[in-house]
Every structure is written in structure tokens, then in C-alpha cells.
Amino acid sequence: MKNEELIQEAIEIVNPKTIANAEMGGVGCALMTDKGTIFKGVCIDTISGMGFYAEHTAISQMITQGEYLIKKIVAVKKGDDGNVIIMPPCGRCREFMYQTNPDNLKAEVILEEDRIVTLEELLPYRDI
């Protein structure tokens, strides 16, 4: 799958809503496993901090379906002007990917449509 296609998969699920004290669906994530399966997820941000990130949702769906190895992953949101913003995973998401399967260090993380790094490059000092 091309980067643009995975980015499009993530864009399709971005649908921001605010209900009570929670902002939901503002960030979408799509990941492809080593088997070629696509899993998607959105963020849920709550005022109490009990929410979770889009990457967590996609990864939990992957694990629920019995897969554990990420081949490629991207997270996106829409800017105020409607343009797509690709978001690198935060430190918590990087660590989550690593801890759910150390082999995910080889996962390709899309930072820009034409720029990919591995999770290993984003977690250089993980064993210190």
C-alpha cells in the first residue's frame, strides 16, 4: 500500500465531535500489519485525562483481531483550513507500539507523504 492510500484511510475517519467534556474523533490513525490488514482508530480526549490516542485505538483493534506486528502507521488531523496535517506519534504512542511488540521497532512511521522513519529511529535510547 502506498503512503497516500494509508493517509487517506486515516483521513476518512476524522470526524471531530465535542460532547460534554470530551473531544472525540479529531485525530485518525490507520495502520497496516505485516499481513496487509488495515486497522483504524480515533482519539478521545477527556477533561479528566482518561482518554486515549488514535494510535492506541488502532493498535488495540489489531491486537483484538489477533495481529501484533505493525508494518506502517500514520496519524492525521485536519487543520482549520481543511488541509491534512500528518502527526508523528507522541512519546507515549511510540512506547506503546514498542511495548506491545518489540518487533514493531521496524514499523514504518509516516511523517510526511514522502518521508518515512522507523519506530526504532524515533526511540533511539529505549533501553537506557
Domain ranges of the chain: 3-122
**Amino acid, single-letter form, for residue 74:** V
Region 27-54: mean pLDDT is 94
8 Å CB contact between 85 and 75: no
Note the pLDDT tens digit of each residue in 75-104. 999 999 989 999 999 999 999 999 999 999
Which fold, 3-122?
Cytidine Deaminase; domain 2 (3.40.140)
10: nearest Cα among 102, 77, 92, 64: 77
Task: Give residue 109's pLDDT band: very low, low, confident or very high (50, 70, 90).
Answer: very high
> How far, CA to CA in Å, does 29 sit from each of 36, 58, 80, 84?
16, 7, 19, 12
